[in-house]
Each structure stands twice: as structure tokens, then as C-alpha cells.
Amino acid sequence: MSETEKPAGDGERLARLRRPATAARKAAAPPPPVEAPAPTPRPTGTTTMPPVGGDNVLLAVNGLQKHFPVTQGIFFRRQIGAVKAVDGLTFSVNKGETLGVVGETGCGKSTMGRLLTRLLEPTGGQILYNGHDITHASTHQLRPLRREIQMIFQDPFSSLNPRHTVGSIVGAPLKIQNIDSPENRRRNVQELMELVGLNPEHYNRYPHEFSGGQRQRIGIARALALRPSMIVADEPVSALDVSIQAQVVNLLSDLQKEFGLTYVFIAHDLSVIRHISNRVAVMYLGKIVEMASDTDLYEHPLHPYTHALLSAVPIPDPEREQKRDRILLKGDVPSPLNPPPACRFHTRCWKAQEICRQTEPPLLEISPGHQVACHFPEEKDLVG
Amino acid sequence: MITILYLPAVDAFGLIAPRLRVPPAGVLPGLPTGRGAVTAPLDVAGDVAGSQPGALLDGVSSKSIEGRSLGQIAWIRFKRDKFAFASIFVILLLILFTILAPVLNKWIGVDPTTNDINNLNIDTGIGLPIGHFGGINGSHPLGVEPRNGRDIFARIDVGARYSLIVALASTVLSVVLGTFFGAIAGFFGGPVDTFISRFMDILLAFPQIIFAIAIASVIEGSKSGGGLWTHIILLIAIIGFFSSPYFGRIIRGQVLSLREKEFVDAARGIGASPGRIMFRELLPNMYGPILVYSTLIIPVNILFEAALSFLGVGIPPPNPSWGSMLSDATGSGLYQIDPWFAVWPGLFIFITVMAFNLLGDGLRDALDPRSNR
């Protein structure tokens, strides 16, 4: 959606859409006691992230863990293990920026997204939103938080209730959070639909009458309904055609500019991530192996896993594509039930030494804003 | 003459053929106009058409493209299924027949509990009906029962009342109980699920008929003795209670699969309570299976009622019910000599069961958006 397509008077409409209540609500809320993240006992091997940007930090995550128990038995369930989906994440997201998260299938990206929106209860660690500790907030305590953090889901087909009309799907957040009167709701919802490029006349239609891209726009409208500060987008374009992907990604960046949104953008498509992100975190088996600004990461990758990922990106130049060496990782991702000790990547790493099997490399800041968890970080030109 | 193939989609901005437009109304299509033959969609009119996506629909009134609700779509699909559509008429006819039973009986001049020995051939020793087809004549449209000469037509239409009331009401009860507990078990999982599911297993393994006999004898032994309606309510409670686990299991399974959908996470993400998620988000997605299994369990409940009536804990005699009529015929062995005694109640049970089954099948096809029919 480009600016030129929008009808005149757009600015006015947007200004009206921006709820003044947000500011009032924030002012009314008691100023949170901004505590420094308590030095909680954290899993070995992770280092505390240096404070980034001070009070510009919107979300701070400290040693976040999620272990799914694996149980056995019918009457007396006993735990025989745990899937360590997310195992010690430490990072922060600044206001107004986009943090891209990439990684293979099953590396814990989506679990992380669900932990940040508190759809899942973390096993360990800490999540601070705007200074509030929301790690173990109850359903009741989370209610006001839902207005601040929203989520866009991966599957545009299962994320919309097939029995609800678009109007009631987009209006549900307003209804549940008691934001407006039922008389205004229709107008508000139709404005939201217009904002994301849907025809407001389709208010009474059902999701099955829309295409994948339009459905994803419905999901975006729902996420925007509460005027959140932060949106966690869990692979929002993975299920869409490439041409539609571009439209949706552009819509998301337009909305970010208009509303000053902060995104945590989860994807496995490196080019999408590069397009939209300010900073990128690379995950492997529930841990961040490298985190840097987007140019830094794509031009000066340091971790061997990042090298492998980037070498899989096709280069639109047959000659260079022929010449460069592809890094093919051997084997599969090890089971998160029983992850390899020390450096989790050592089983597939061509540079692995004895130290990689003995001690876990901490996530260290090697150059300003560039963190990597590897004993043998090395720059390698892969994308050019 | 040069023929120009004009493609509006390619020439979106009118750059190639700015002057070549659709012939104005009145010009015959296909005739060469202006400098060349114009091939263009005739329904596209005006200069803007084709340059804006969606403009093609401008001419169409907004009423005609209004979205259909899922209910409307289901109804359209349902109407296409002739058998299912016919079954609705059969069921409505049956209900009308039941409601009008007293009027019909008065008009014909029959009564379900009056013994009419004049129509029986005493000489046979058993008391077979006089005449062909179980004694059908002007005053007895479906003949009479052997041995005591009660009018079969009157017993069928009055029996329909009890059979349908018990079957429908017990189905409603089992749907309500089954949906509620099944949804809770599936949604909350863990110990709640274990407790409810094991309880349902116990109910399914329970000897229901013995339980029913026990309760009925307790009621009959009580001071009030248990009138007709006490028995009916008892039947509804027992049948509804014992058939609810079938529903509960289906609903639990549905909820288990639905609660993993992302729209449930989305609802939680906007702060919806578990109650809202269960009843506003999940339940509407289960109307299909609920309706289908209801229509399929009604005939089962009709037969269950018949079984209980046969064992003497159903509708107390001399009040008729289809089940007890069939039991009378088969239990006494009289159907071997006078088959019509068993044919009529059997036929009505068959038609009713068949109609509800066809209705259930039709509903399933109509309500499942993924089915291709």
C-alpha cells in the first residue's frame, strides 16, 4: 500500500485513530519502579547484556527459558525429560526498532514469540516490559498488558476463527478490552480495515471469502486494534506468496512509521529479515548465537552457523553464485530434548575443537553492537 | 483493416490505445468502429474502468455482491441434497401427526386404549383381527391388535408423542451435558480432563438398563407410585444422562484439536477469558458436529426408549409407545401369525430413524465448509 493510493484526509483519519487514551492511560499508570534486572541465577555460559540505550529499552529479556515437560504414565504422570525449546535468551528491544529473529525450524523462535506475548509461561528468566516484570504475571495482570503487546500469527488460515465475520474478529479486541461503545465499534473497525488496505464494505464477510494476503491483513488489523506499542510478528509472511509477502512486509513497515511501532519480527527468510530489521538475532537450538545490526550481520557475519545460513541465500548473479562456496551443514538439528553439551553447534560445526565440547562460548560483544557466541569467530564474506 | 486486440489489463493506463474504448451503448458489438475492430469486454464501460482494480464491480449493485453468511451457504448446500431436504418434510409431517393425534383420533373415532373385541376372530383362539392386512377397515385405518383389539392407528399416533418427546428431550439433555463437560475436559486438560474422561468411561461401561430398572422400581415402590409423566421424565433423565458421554467424547476431541489453532492464541492474546474462548470462539466451530450427532443419536434414543419400554420400565402400559408396541408383537410371537401387528410400529420407527439419519448426513455435508458437495 503506497501513500498515493490513500484517499485524501488520511492524516486526519490517522490522527483520529490514534487513541489519545493511550497517553492518558500511560500517565495514569503509576510510574513503574524501574529496577535494574535483578541478578538472578542464570544458566551457565550466558553473559549479561550491556544495557542498550538506557531508558529507550522497551523490552528486556534476561536468561529466558521455556522447557516443555515430557511425561509418561496414565494415572501418575512423571516427568522423564524436557524439551528445551528456549534455553537462556538475553536481549533487549529498543523503542521503535525492529528486531529480526532468524533460525531453522524448531530452534525456538515461535516459542520465544509466545513467551514475549506471555501466551506461554516461562520456565525461567525474566521479561521486563517498560520496566515492569511480566515474567509470571497472572491472567488478570496481563489484561492491561495485552493492549501494549500484540501478536501477528503465522498461519492466516488458522489464526482467524472461521465462524466469525471480519467485523467481529477485528472488533473483538475493542470489545474484550471495553474500549469503545458498540455504536462506535463498527466505524472504528472499518477504519482499521481501511488502514490495512481492506475494503471496509467487507465488514460482514467471513474469513474464507478472502485470500491469504487479505487474511493476513485482517490479522494485522486485529493486532492494531488496541494501538499496541509492540507487535510480535511470528513468521507473518511465511505462508504467503512471494509477491504478497512484499505487500505485507511493506504494509508492516508503513504502519511502523505511522504509529512508531516496535516489532519483534520472527522469520526464517533472511531476505525478508534484512529488509525490515534494524537488528537481527540468529537462533540455534533455543539460544542466540549471534546478534548484530542488519548490515553488520549480513556483511560481517562471525558465527559459523550464520555463515551457513547466509551461504544458502541465492545470489542473483550466476557467475558469483557459481564461484562462491556453499556451506552445507551435515545432519539434522540435534533434539532439543537432549541438546549437545557446551557449544550446541559443535556437532555440525566444521571448526569445532575440543574446547567447543567442553565449555559453552558466552555471548560476547566483539565489536560495538555485535554479539556472538563462538570460540572461533571469524569474518567471512558470503553475501557481498 | 488492421485488427487490434485490445487487452485492458495490459493497457491499464490507456497508453497504448487511448482512443480505443468500448463502443457506446447502442453500437452493435463486433462491428468495426472508428479506426479498428475493438475487442473488449462489453461489460466494462467508461474511461476509468480497467485502470483501477475493483472498478469492474462498480456497475454491480452492492446488494448483489454482499457476502453470504455461513448459515446461508449451508442452507444453499443443504437444499441441493434432495434426500436430506425430503427428510425435513418427513420429520415435520411426523411432528404434525403427533400434535394432531387427539384431533385425528376423534375424527376417525378411535382410541388407543379401548379394547374392541368385535373386530377379532374369537374362533382362532388367539383372537386374530377379522379381515385382511391385520383387520384394516373403515373404522380402523391400520387395523387392530390381535388378542385385545386396540386400534393400531391410534396407538401409533399417541405412541409417536411419547417416543418423540423422550427421544428429543433426552438428546437435548445429552447434548447440553456432553458439550459442557466435554468442552471443559478438552479445554483445560490435565487433571480436569483425566477426571471427566474417566467418569465418562465409567458411565459408558455402566449397565445402563439395569440402572434404569433399579431406579424405575424405586419410583414405582414410592407412595406416589409414579404416574405417566414421572416415568417420562425419568426416561429422559436416564437416556440423556447415559448418552451424554458419547457426545462428551466427540466434543472433547473437537476441542482438543481446535484449541491448538492460532485463533485461540489470538483470543488469549487480546485478553479473552477462558469462558469467552470456550463459548464464543470454540463452540460456534462445533455446531456442525453437535447438530449432526444429535440427529444421529435421536434414532438411537428412540430405540433405547423402546428397549426400556419392553423391559417394563418405559412408558407404563396401557399407554402406547412404538417400542412397547414392537415389543408386544415380537415378545408374544404373534407377529408370526399377524405380521401387520409388528409392521406398523416397525415401519414408523424405520421411517423416523431413516429421516433423522438422512437429515444428519445432509447437515454434515452442508455444515462442513470443506466438503465438496
> CA of B81, closest CA in chain A: separation in Å?
22
Q: How confident is the model at residue B124 (pLDDT cuts 50, 70, 90)?
A: low
Q: Say whether pLDDT at B211 is over 60.
A: yes
End-to-end CA gap in chain B:
50
Report how far residue B168's alpha carbon sits from residue B172's, in angstroms, rounded to the nearest whole number. Answer: 6
Considering only alpha carbons, which residue of chain B is nearest residue A165?
B69
- Is B54 in Cβ contact with A146 (below 8 Å)? no
CA B58 to chain A, closest CA, distance in angstroms equals 13
Per-residue confidence (pLDDT) for residue B117, from 0 to 100: 67
Residue B325 lies in a domain: yes
Q: Where are the alpha helices (DSSP H) in chain A?
A: 10-17, 20-28, 109-116, 139-146, 166-176, 182-195, 212-224, 242-259, 270-276, 294-299, 304-311, 318-323, 354-358
Number of domains in chain B: 1
- ipTM of the complex model: 0.77
Residue of B69, B265, B283, B367 to mutate, interface with A, max A Cβ within 10 Å: B265
How confident is the model at residue A281, as a pLDDT?
93
Q: How far apart are CA A173 and CA A222, in angstroms?
A: 7
Residues of B in contact with A206 (CB under 8 A): 67, 69-70
Dump pLDDT digits (tens) for A274-320. Answer: 889 999 999 998 899 999 998 888 888 899 999 888 888 888 888 88
Mutate to test the interface with A, among B72, B192, B262 (most CBs of A within 10 A): B262
pLDDT band, very low/low/confident/very high, at B252 (cuts 50, 70, 90): very high
How far is residue A166 from each of residues A189, A203, A209, B334, measured CA to CA in Å? 9, 6, 10, 63
For residue range A59-116, list pLDDT tens digits in order: 999 889 898 888 877 667 777 888 888 888 899 999 999 999 998 888 888 899 999 9
pLDDT value for B70: 65
What confidence score (pLDDT) does residue B370 get? Answer: 57
Average pLDDT, chain B: 74
Q: Is the pLDDT of residue B18 over 50?
A: no
pLDDT band at A32 (very low <50, low <70, confident <90, very high): very low
Quick check: is B5 in a domain? no
Suggest the residue from B263, B281, B367 to mutate for an interface test with chain A (most A CBs closer than 10 A).
Answer: B263
Q: What mean pLDDT do residues B9-13 have?
A: 41
Q: DSSP letter at B118? A: G
> What dihedral do alpha carbons A134, A138, A140, A143 form, nearest 10°?
40
| Alpha carbon of B25: minimum distance to chain A alpha carbons (Å) | 30
| CATH code of residue B281 | 1.10.3720.10
Confidence at residue A232, expressed as pLDDT on a 0 to 100 scale = 93
Give residue B12's pLDDT: 42
Question: CB-CB: which of A155, A201, A225 is closest to B262?
Answer: A155
Window from A69-83, A348-362, B22-36, B330-344 with minimum mean pLDDT: B22-36
More confident residue, A367 or B22: A367
HSE (side-chain half, CA atoms, 13 Å) at B213: 9
Choosing among A68, A146, A158, which should be mutated to test the B contact, i.e. which has the most B CBs within 10 A?
A: A158
From B54, B265, B285, residue closest to A153, measured CB to CB = B265
Query: Would residue B31 count as lying in a domain?
Result: no
Q: What would the mean pLDDT of B166-181 be, rounded to a whole number?
A: 92
pLDDT of residue A231: 93
pLDDT band per the 50, 70, 90 thresholds, residue B135: low
Is A47 or A118 the better-scoring residue by pLDDT?
Answer: A118
How many angstroms away from the CA of A149 is the closest CA of chain B? 8
Min Cα separation A205/chain B (Å)? 5
Cell digits of residue A87: 534455553
Output the pLDDT for position B109: 72
Lowest mean pLDDT among A361-370, B15-24, B115-124, B184-193: B15-24
Question: A71, A149, A161: best mutation site toward chain B, by most B Cβ within 10 Å?
Answer: A161
Going by pLDDT thresholds of 50, 70 and 90, the confidence category of residue B59 is very low
Size of chain B in residues = 373
Residue B87 lies in a domain: yes
Nearest residue to A160 via CA among A172, A149, A148: A172
- CB–CB contact B261 A159 (8 Å): yes
Residues of chain A positioned with their CB less than 8 A from the CB of B287: 163
Q: Residue A218: what pLDDT?
A: 93
How close does chain A come to B263, measured CA to CA in Å?
A: 4
Residue that the C-alpha cell 423422550 belongs to: B166
Count CB pairs under 8 A between chains A and B.
Answer: 75
| Average pLDDT rounded to a whole number, residues B229-242 | 85
- Determine the structural domain holding residue B151 and report its residue range: 74-113+131-367
Decide: helix, strand or coil at residue A324: coil
CB-based contact A158 B262, cutoff 8 Å? yes
Residues of B within 8 A of A172 (CB-CB) are 267, 270, 272
Rounded to the nearest angstrom, the minimum Cα separation between A311 and chain B is: 33
**Contact (CB<8Å) A222/B281:** no
**A199 pLDDT more than 80:** yes
pLDDT given at position B219: 72
Q: Which of B66, B266, B285 sits opposite A159 (nearest CB)?
A: B266
Decide: A230 and A93 in contact? Cβ < 8 Å: yes
Please give the average per-residue pLDDT across A153-161, as a whole number. 89
Query: Does the structure show a pLDDT above 80 at A233?
Result: yes
On whether residue B152 sits in a domain, the answer given is yes
> B166, B306 in Cβ contact below 8 A?
no
Q: Which of A139, A201, A206 sits opposite B70 (nearest CB)?
A: A206
Separation of alpha carbons A117 and A113, rounded Å: 6
Quote the pLDDT of residue B131: 67
Res B29: pLDDT? 43
| Residue type at A105 in one-letter notation | T
Q: What is the pLDDT of residue B170?
A: 92
Give the lowest-confidence range in A165-174, B210-219, B255-264.
Answer: B210-219
Q: Residue B369: which of A162, A225, A226 has the nearest Cβ? A: A162
Which residues of chain B make contact with A114, given a CB cutoff of 8 A?
Answer: 265
Is residue A28 predicted with pLDDT exceeding 50?
no
Nine cell digits for residue A355: 574446547
pLDDT above 90 as % of chain B: 9
Confirm whether B306 is domain-assigned: yes
Average pLDDT score over residue span B218-243: 78
With CB atoms and an 8 Å threshold, state whether A163 touches B272.
Answer: no
Residue A116 buriedness (CB in 10 A; 0-12 / 13-18 / 19+):
buried
The answer to whether the beta carbons of residues A344 and A290 sit under 8 Å apart is: no
- Cβ atoms B20, B38 nearer than 8 A: yes
Q: How confident is the model at residue B15 (pLDDT cuts 50, 70, 90)?
A: very low
Least confident window among A254-268, A358-372, B119-133? B119-133
Q: Please give the residue that has the higher pLDDT: either B193 or B52.
A: B193
Partner-chain contact A202 B67, CB within 8 Å: yes
Provide the pLDDT for residue A15: 45
pLDDT at A346 over 70: yes
Q: Is residue B62 part of a domain?
A: no
Task: Label each residue of A339-351 as H, E or C.
Answer: CCCCCCCCCCCCC
Among the partner residues A163, A201, A225, nearest to B70 by beta-carbon distance? A163
Chain A residue numbers with beta carbons less than 8 Å from the beta carbon of B270 are 146, 150, 172-173, 176-177, 222, 225-226
**Partner-chain contact B67 A159, CB within 8 Å:** no
Cell numbers at A346, concatenated: 559443535
Residue B269 lies in a domain: yes
The pLDDT score that the predictor gives to residue A45 is: 38
Query: Which has the higher per-residue pLDDT, B323 or B179?
Result: B179
Q: Higher pLDDT residue, B227 or B192?
A: B192
pLDDT category at B125 given cuts 50, 70, 90 is low
Q: Is the pLDDT of residue B196 over 80?
A: yes
Of A75, A119, A219, the CB nearest to B268: A119
The per-residue pLDDT for A29 is: 44
Cβ atoms of B299 and B353 closer than 8 Å: yes
Mean of the per-residue pLDDT values of chain A: 81
> B281 and A161 in contact by Cβ < 8 A?
yes
